[in-house]
Structure 1
Amino acid sequence: MQTDLFTVSKLFTERLFRIPDYQRGYAWREKQLKDYWNDLEQLEDKSHYLGVLTLEDVPEEVVKEWKDDKWIIDSKGYTPFYIVDGQQRLTTTIILIQAITEVIKEGEKINYTSKCEIKRRFLWDSKDDGISRSYIFGYEKDNPSYEFLKTKIFNESSDVSFPSQDTIYTNNLSFAKEFFLKKIVDLDIRSLEEIYKKVTQQLLFNIYAISREIDVFVAFETMNNRGKPLSHLELLKNRLIYLSTKFQVEDYEKDNLRAVVNESWKNIYHYLGKNKDNPLDDDFFLRNHFLLYFGKSLTDEDDPDYRGYLRMRRSYAHDYKDYLLENHFTTRNIEGVGKSEGKAIKTKDIYDYSKSLKDSVEIWYQILNPSDSTFSRVEKEWLDKINRLGIEFVAPLIMVFYQKVRKNALKIEFLKALEKLIFLNELVRYRHYMTFDPVLFLEMSSKLSSGKSSAEDIVKELTVAFESGRDSKEIWKIIQAEFIRSGYYGWRGIRYFLYEYDLNLKSQSKTQREKIDWDVYIDTPEDYHTVEHIYPQRARRECWTKLYAAYTNKERSVLRHSLGNLVPLSRPKNSSFSNKCFQDKVGDISTKVGFRYGSYAENEIATYEKWGAVEILQRGVSLLDFMDDRWSLKIGDRGKKVKMLGLEFVEEKEGITKKRRK
């Protein structure tokens, strides 16, 4: 075991580094990169310890297949190593060195070293300056990051005819390179030399050469719990590759199984990272696929090992990983413990499971990114709505439904029923008052997956759950009481509701232009807002105080947070906008700022001459009329809606009689 400290420069002396297939890809994002850069900036004359770099000798039978590297190993005496732990830090260091070579001008040297010399030392070397390249650091060839690192990070040409495949990990590689280029592109030569010196001479690794007696797969799971934790999907890949080596089968069977696992994970990470602006969470996919794949087992009453999962406990989100990594995909299930009961894992079990993950991830991606899907226009529309409303509880059910059902009409009926039920639940502020238990969706998923319920049964069950909640007087008492007590502004469903109202106004307009960007609408910077109080929260100007002089402080507070006083903005506005007088908020031709130039709902507000308590009441009733019609809620007549708004006092003070009300 070697325990000396090595600078990066010494580390890259007659060594080749490869990231093996059981390793995850490059996982560092902005936080880790900022920490790394801050450590560099704070270095002066001292060194900085980056940690242990755990290496494994590459077996000779594997090295024989590395045709591109044979010359540098045989002629220059380079020793090839697998990186078991420390690849994130080492990859980051190499990306920074590459970025430095890109900002060095032609013919320029830093620390008396040319760009070509830096590349030969840390990135690649060539045989007799020919076309052959041996990469000093990189991935194994079947890893999608191999071609990406070579072509997109090192800017080298590729010999393959197909483009590199993007994944979450390749996106992270690009992000890291862009991050460092922004940091160094404007540095003068002296500052650049200082950075290069720090990276190559002052960053220290402690090398630990792992012995053959230690199981490298087990070491990987243990060591990689440091730093940025491995996801369970990443751990599972390592586990399945590990199990592939334990079967008592021919070597070609083991190799084929390992290749299937690698190919499946390559596909999985391609789709999880396909939307670069919104990459999908590893474990969110894994635990939802779990319901799809193990649905039949989960509903098997005769199997005591699975009975706890059948109950779909509230800890389900944590249980799935224990089941996969502690109960199911384990060496004891291969080595004989379960064989007497006929439950031993076979090569086909891992093959089928890996293929199922691979086949499911594309549908999963499309469910969460409907605009980039092959679904029909109407399906996209309703999936968009469910994604906006909140898909977490219902994702497993949608995934199973889309795996099982081909008829568009039935899928649309299912999505509509699901959206209505979720919205009804959003009207209830607190989870213990919910119109149904979220575990209901997990049970539905399991029954549909196992064949104990048909797709038609699921749609009927969703409809019955909705109608039961909608027709419950007790539920409506709770909803009304909570809105009167806390107002509508704090309702978690307010943005979705107002957005849907704006879409309704758009459908009635002469234009089909989108005026609200949902992603901007729900993610606003500090001191800005996208839901506006028309009658301001801080209404200190005379234009407001005179108009609401007849109302008490408590009544004014109710009016401010009432449904009719809230409008969705087409773009975030500074909080100072909210305090202006009504006519200033409406805007004029000279400024081209205000409600008349905003969302469809803002345009509607701009048609009012003034904005007093009566207008808030009237618009509130109108919005509840829309809610009633859009979600088939049966709230009741106008009187019940005024009561639900908590604005009976406005009718009394403004002398609105029952006759005028009608």
Structure 2
Amino acid sequence: MESTLFSLSKIFNERLFRIPDYQRGYAWTEKQLKDFWNDLEQLEDGKNHYTGVITLEPVEDVISSNWHDDTWIISSKSYYPYYIVDGQQRLTTSLILIQSIIEASSKKCQELNYTPISDIRKKFIFDSKDNGISRSYIFGYEKDNPSYEYLKTEIFLEHSETKSQKQETIYTQNLKNAKSFFLSQLDALSIKKIELLYRKLTQNLFFNIYTITSDIDTFVSFETMNNRGKPLSHLELLKNRLIYLSTKLSNEDYEKNSLRKKINECWKSIYHNLGRNKSKPLKDDIFLFNHYIIYFGSELFPKEEYVAKTLRIPSLNSPQRDEYANFLLEKKFTTKNLNDSKIDLISINNYVENLQNSVDIWYQLHNPQDSDYSSEVKNYLDKINRIGINAVSPLIMIFFKNEHSNRKRLQFLIEIERLIFIVSLHNIRFYYLDVDDLNFLKLSIEFHNRKFTSEELIRKIEDNANKFLNTREARDLMIKLFRDKGFYQWAGIRYFLYEYDLTLSENSKTKRVKLDWEIFDNFDYKSIEHIYPQSSRQLCWREKFKNFTSPQRKSLRNSLGNLLPISKEKNSSLKDKCFENKISNNLNAVGYRYGCYSENEITNYTEWTSKEILERGLKLIEFMEKRWKIRFSNENEKIKFLGLEFLRKK
């Protein structure tokens, strides 16, 4: 293995770089981009900065001879082709910045540091035969990678015959974000400062260049080296491992090549789906974990130790988050298992196919409005995403894979949503829910293995929800919980108030939704209004509630009937204003009269006292009973649930 220190300008000297298919795409986010930019800005003119290691693998002639767009530059100009084994994030970032510098400076001049911009483009971006239409890109991805098409057309602004086939993924979004970041930084710089920045980037950043010799296994090197920089996700490591295993199989080359192609297609599909919703990209390791639960659970779930650990994994924030990755990378997909015939071409192929088939469903479950499901199914998937889909996502994914009846899917979702809501009333962390035989991870695996039918699963979920409601002990616990603590801290309060407002909108003449869930669920500001305010110093409030003790006033403030969803950032502006001023006044248009349907409904009241808090609380409980099939024994039990039994005495 050879090692030399090079500047970026020297690195891009008669070399052709390609990122191989086992590599992940561009993963740097704003944090890494800012660090890179700050390193350049803070570097003194004339000083050098050590940037890190770049590891290269020479590309064999038998492979590069198939790079039809590049054979001319390899044979005629003696460019040597290399795979980038390690360091692609730094090199990609440097190339994006160079392209951004070209675009920013082209508006002001045609040279940088006495070098024509056309020469800079030829050195770092692409070269062409006789200035013709053919292009050989100096830096890029292997052809089948969607990031290559994106890099050429959206970053380098080049024309491509296959642009219509362009796919966007999490990685292409990162490429776009990096270019936007650099262009915004360059926009404020003079041409002199841009020239200085370009000189620092190409002349003063130094890299160690390692060239891997043929006796070193590239795939193993990739896993070992990529513990630097932004760590690889388990999904990214798994792709490399599967491709590595495909090269070690004893099957015919055409079968091994077919498997390798299928792995690449699968990962393209995964990253396309995970990044399709740019405002809410899905986490790759969470998808991989949920698929793993279903696919391999039957091998593991009988072990009690595994059950105990797994029940604490879904958040992927605990020390046990690597348990499933250890299984995939250290126990399942290993060369030892390959040599022992515990895995083979068929088993790897089946796993990859199942993974690819699952990711499309995974995307649609989390983005139901971008699916081909019925409007009723979309509606309930939206509800489950709002109340919390994480704990039940593997069960929903396998149910939708196995069950295609729209009626059964809807019935299943209705019961799941109802159960989650009922569980929230008991303040139980849903991740750890295990009611009798209702362990959701276990259910997912058993349903995957067809141990019971769709109808039996739906009935099982419904029965367990009813147990929460009909057991005296569970009901007493629920009532005591809210009587003691009120509803303001209840984890389900936003969802409940949103569902009530949604029902009001459906019953209105316009049916227009006034309360935006994304804004309402934003915890950056208070979105739940206390009509009788928490800080009630004004005389109008002190007079109305002067006959109550301090604990009783606290109970009234946090009781269900006193809580109101706010459709805009106006909670702080209303504060402790008197009730008539909260509804509306001549000075502003932020009162309840101009808000959501729940706010509008409050304007029907002429005053706000303990009587109105109790009256509205009972009305909301009536909605709760009807919406989630919850039954209270009598009105006294409802008033206890609201924490307002002292009003009966008064």
Superposition TM-score tier, normalisation by shorter sequence:
over 0.9
Moved more, 250-259 or 538-547: 538-547
Residue matched to 1:156:
158
Larger mean CA deviation between 186-195 and 274-283 belongs to: 186-195
Query: Structure 1, unaligned stretches of length 5 or more?
Result: 654-662
Q: Distance in 2 between matches of 1:439 and 1:20?
A: 45
Amino acid at match of 1:37: W
- What is the one-letter code of the residue matched to 1:147? E
The amino acid that maps onto 1:415 is L
What SS class does the counterpart of residue 162 from structure 1 fall into?
helix
Q: What displacement does 1:641 show?
A: 1.1
Cα 1:316–1:554, aligned 2, differ >3 Å: closer, same or farther? closer
Shift of residue 574, structure 1, vs aligned partner: 5.1
Give 1:509-588 correspondences, 5 Å limit. Answer: 509-525=508-524, 528-573=525-570, 575-588=572-585
Judged with a 3 Å threshold, the aligned counterparts in structure 2 of structure 1 residues 437 and 533 are, in CA distance, closer, same or farther, namely farther
SS in 1 for 2:102: helix
Verify: 1:35 aligned to 2:35, yes or no: yes
Q: Is 1:619 matched with 2:627?
A: no
8 Å CA contact 1:428, 1:434 repeated in 2 = no
Structure 2 Cα separation of the partners of residues 345 and 478 of structure 1: 50
Q: Say whether 1:333 aligns with 2:337.
A: yes
Shift of 1:524: 4.3
- Taking the aligned partners of 1:487 and 1:501, their CA distance within structure 2 comes to 18
Deviation of 1:543 (Å): 2.2
2:395 equivalent in structure 1: 397
After superposition, the Cα gap between the structure-2 partners of 1:434 and 1:484, relative to the gap in structure 1 and judged at 3 Å, is farther
Deviation at 1:484, TM superposition (A): 2.5
State the SS of the aligned residue for 2:144: coil
Distance 1:275 1:240 in 2: 27
- Specify the code of the residue in structure 1 equivalent to 2:601: E
Q: Secondary structure at the match of 1:245?
A: helix
Paired with 2:563 and 2:308, the residues of 1 have a C-alpha distance of 42
Q: Counterpart of 1:380?
A: 378
Distance 1:115 1:487 in 2: 68
Amino acid at match of 2:173: N
Q: Secondary structure at the match of 2:564?
A: strand
Q: 376-385 vs 48-57, which deviates more?
A: 48-57
Any conservation in 2 of the 1:587–1:594 contact (CA below 8 Å)?
A: yes
Deviation at residue 592 of structure 1 after TM alignment: 2.5
CA distance in 1, matches of 2:359, 2:298: 20
Structure 1 equivalent of residue 463 of structure 2: 464
The answer to whether the aligner puts 1:443 opposite 2:442 as a matched pair is yes
Q: Which amino acid aligns with 1:221?
A: E
Counterpart code for 1:95:
I
Displacement after TM superposition at 1:145 (Å): 0.7
Partners in 2 of 1:382 and 1:533 — Cα distance?
Answer: 29
Alignment of 1:44-443 (within 5 A): 44-45=44-45, 46-106=47-107, 107-160=109-162, 162-294=164-296, 297=299, 313-314=310-311, 318=321, 319-336=323-340, 339=341, 344-431=342-429, 436=435, 440-443=439-442
Distance 1:485 1:208 in 2: 66
Deviation at 1:430, TM superposition (A): 4.0
After TM superposition, give the deviation of residue 198 of structure 1 in Å: 2.3
The equivalent of 1:3 in structure 2 is 3
Q: Secondary structure at the match of 1:567?
A: strand
Find the aligned partners of 1:202 and 1:541 in 2 and give their Cα distance.
Answer: 66
Per the alignment, residue 318 of structure 2 pairs with none
Q: Which amino acid aligns with 2:56?
A: L
Q: After superposing the two structures, state which structure 1 stretch, 634-643 or 366-375, moved more.
A: 634-643
Distance, in Å, in 2 between the alignment partners of 1:76 and 1:499 is 66
Contact 1:292 1:399 in 2 (8 A): no
In 2, the alpha carbon distance for the partners of 1:187 and 1:180 equals 11
Change (3 A) 1:614 1:139: same
CA contact under 8 A between 1:312 and 1:439: conserved in structure 2? no
Q: Residue 635 of structure 2: which of 638, 642, 660 is its match?
A: 638
The answer to whether the 8 A contact 1:565-1:620 is kept is: yes
CA contact (8 A) 1:14 1:77 kept: yes
Output the CA distance in 2 between the equivalents of 1:553 and 1:281.
Answer: 46
Preserved CA contact (<8 Å) 2:149 2:163: no
How far has the Cα of 1:311 moved from its partner?
Answer: 8.0
Cα distance in 2, alignment partners of residues 179 and 351 from structure 1: 40
- What CA distance in whole angstroms lies between the structure 1 residues aligned with 2:352 and 2:331? 17
Tell me the CA shift for residue 435 of structure 1: 7.3
**Contact 2:153 / 2:163 at 8 angstroms: preserved in 1?**
no
Give, in whole Å, the separation in 2 of the partners of 1:438 and 1:24: 41
Q: Which amino acid aligns with 1:375?
A: Y
SS in 1 for 2:569: strand
- After TM superposition, give the deviation of residue 589 of structure 1 in Å: 6.3
Separation in 2 of the partners of 1:369 and 1:102? 36
Partner SS, residue 485 of structure 1: helix
Paired residue type of 1:20 = P
Cα deviation digits, residues 7-34 of structure 1 (max 9, x gap)? 2122211111111000000111122222
Q: TM-score, normalised by structure 1?
A: 0.93
Distance verdict in 2 for CA 1:309–1:435, change over 3 Å: closer
Counterpart contact for 1:56–1:82, Cα < 8 Å? yes
1:610 aligns with 2:614: no
CA contact (8 A) 2:438 2:461 kept: no
For residue 407 of structure 1, what is the amino acid of its counterpart? S
Q: Write out the 4+ residue segments of structure 1 that deviate beyond 6 Å after TM superposition.
A: none
Shift of 1:187: 2.0
Offset at 1:423?
Answer: 0.6
Which string of whole-angstrom CA distances, capped at 9 and with x for unpartnered residues, describes residues 477-505 of structure 1? 22222223322111111110110111111
Residues 513-522 or 389-398, more deviating: 513-522
The CA distance in 2 between the partners of 1:633 and 1:218, in whole Å, is 57
Q: CA deviation at 1:147?
A: 0.6
Residue 308 to residue 61, structure 1, CA distance change in 2 (3 Å) = farther
> 1:362 corresponds to which letter in structure 2?
D
What do the CA deviations read for 1:629-653 (whole angstroms, capped 9, x no partner)? 2111113322111111111223333
C-alpha separation in 2, matches of 1:410 and 1:619: 36
**Partner of residue 489, structure 1:** 488
Segment of structure 1 superposing worse, 88-97 or 109-118: 109-118
TM-score, normalization: structure 2?
A: 0.94
Provide the C-alpha distance between the structure 2 equivalents of 1:578 and 1:227, rounded to a whole number of angstroms.
47
Q: Distance in 2 between matches of 1:637 and 1:181?
A: 66
Q: Distance in 1 between matches of 2:8 and 2:647?
A: 74
Query: Relative to structure 1, is the Cα distance of residues 110 and 585 closer, same or farther in structure 2, using a 3 angstrom cutoff?
Result: farther
Distance in 2 (alpha carbons) for counterparts of 1:475 and 1:326? 43
The alpha carbon displacement at 1:292 in A equals: 3.2
Asked if the contact 1:435–1:475 (Cα under 8 Å) also holds between the matched residues in 2, the reply is: no
Aligned mates of 2:384, 2:163 — CA distance in 1: 40
Paired residues of 2:2 and 2:212 also in contact (CA < 8 A): no
1:478 aligned partner? 477
Aligned to 1:658: none
Question: Matches of 2:219 and 2:598 in 1, distance apart?
Answer: 58
2:528, 2:571 within 8 Å by CA — same for their partners in 1? Answer: no
Residues in 2 aligned to 1:431 and 1:272: alpha-carbon distance in whole angstroms: 27
Task: Give me the whole-angstrom Cα distance separating, in 2, the residues matched to 1:69 and 1:431.
Answer: 57
> What is the CA–CA distance in structure 2 between the aligned matches of 1:591 and 1:365, rounded to whole Å?
43
Provide the C-alpha distance between the structure 1 equivalents of 2:163 and 2:38, rounded to a whole number of angstroms: 40
Aligned length: 640
Aligned Cα root-mean-square deviation (Å) = 2.1
Consecutive unaligned residues of structure 2, counting only runs of 5 or more, are 315-320
**Whole-angstrom distance in 1 between the partners of 2:237 and 2:2:** 27
Q: Which whole-Å CA distance do the structure 1 matches of 2:333 and 2:438 have between them?
A: 25
Report % sequence identity: 52
Aligned AA for 1:155?
L
Of 40-49 and 26-35, deviating more is 40-49
> In 2, Cα distance between the equivalents of 1:442 and 1:72?
55
* Distance in structure 1 (CA, Å) of the matches to 2:517 and 2:433: 26
Quick check: 133-142 or 471-480, which moved more? 471-480
Is the partner of 2:568 in helix, strand or coil?
strand
Looking at structure 2, the residues matched to 575 and 559 of structure 1 have their Cα atoms a distance apart, in angstroms, of 20
